Homo-oligomer: A and B are copies of this chain.
Amino acid sequence: MTDETLRGEDSIIQEFLAPLASGYPGAFGLRDDCATIVSPPGCELVVKTDPIVEGVHFLPGTAPEDIGWRALAVNVSDLAAKGANPVGYLMAMALPAAPARAWLKRFASGLQEAQLAFGCHLMGGDTDCRPGPLSLCITAFGSVPSGRMVRRGSARVGDQLFVTGTLGDAALGLALLKEPALAQWLGLGASQVASMTARFLRPQPRLGLRPLLLAHASAAMDLSDGLMKDCGRMCAASDVAAGLEAAALPLSDAVRKAVAADAGWLKTAASAGDDYEILAAVPAAGVADFTAKAAILDFPVARIGQIRQGAGVRMHQPDGADMTFERTGWDHFLD
């Protein structure tokens, strides 16, 4: 072992990862092969695995802290959309080479920040060295009252569709990271640039919406592959259609500036991935209560459309025409 490079799986685990598991007894200090978890009385566990890969889900050269945050956040985002309370996670790390100590320390600190923010702990995992890009495969565990997981396939005709936050920020942030000169062209100030890039680099699972989803949503999912595509998945699973209003899409000031400079950005906001906002279907009878409680919690939600009979998703424009999309969202086998 040199001072800069850690050699040996066991030393990586004990020095950098075991501290992340110290708050979870069922991790056995990462000194066992397996971890244990129990569904609390009256609850079931919600589980999700969503890997991130360098060059696919984040840019090469991304700060290790941001990689650690993202790896956990994208999984906890799914739990949040299901109404589940995060408990813990397993992490399989695949590294292209023995990592530098400094890199591991920063990576672990990003995970630690995410754990604190989301209220969960590392439970176990695996560390491999193999060719190919850095890959982190986290499996996250949450709990919901038994039978209460908010499903994707249970939206009903007449439900109103809501999204949290604003759409397209992460897509704009990613574009700014790739092409910083874009900021000047779009007329964005430094704080707007920082805000948009943060929206891409540090996805924020919408855990605050959990109680409202459990109380009011007939269906929900997080938006990771773009509104049009993910809404299409909700509709397909629910055997319904959706009508969305382009004018109702919640946009940040920065994305509004982008749309003003190039109208194509509105289409991007409706179809680009990495928003990690929540799409929720709320039965009409509960809408007033849902929006009132969201206002009390100061949680931004916007009504963007409704569930209809039929199939597919249409995005209506103010002129009455439907917006057309060559692609509705990210697909690993088409993009």
Contacts and interface: CB of A to CB of B under 8 A. Distances in A.
Interface stretch (A169-177, A195-203, A254-262, A327-335): A327-335
Contacts of A26: 44
A137 B39 contact: no
B37 A44 contact: yes
A120 to B, nearest CB: 14
Among A39, A78, A125, max chain B CB count under 10 A is at: A39
Nearest to A147: B36
Most chain-B CB neighbours within 10 Å: which of A90, A126, A332? Answer: A332
Interface in A98-146: 98, 123-133, 135, 137, 139, 141, 144, 146
A305 B37 CA distance: 33
A249 interface: no
Interface of A: 6-10, 12, 26, 28, 31-39, 44-51, 53, 55-56, 78-79, 81-82, 84, 90-92, 94, 98, 123-133, 135, 137, 139, 141, 144, 146, 149, 151-153, 221-222, 233, 236-237, 331-334
Chain A to chain B: the 7 pairs with minimum beta-carbon distance, closest first = A132-B132, A129-B332, A137-B137, A139-B139, A31-B237, A49-B90, A56-B130
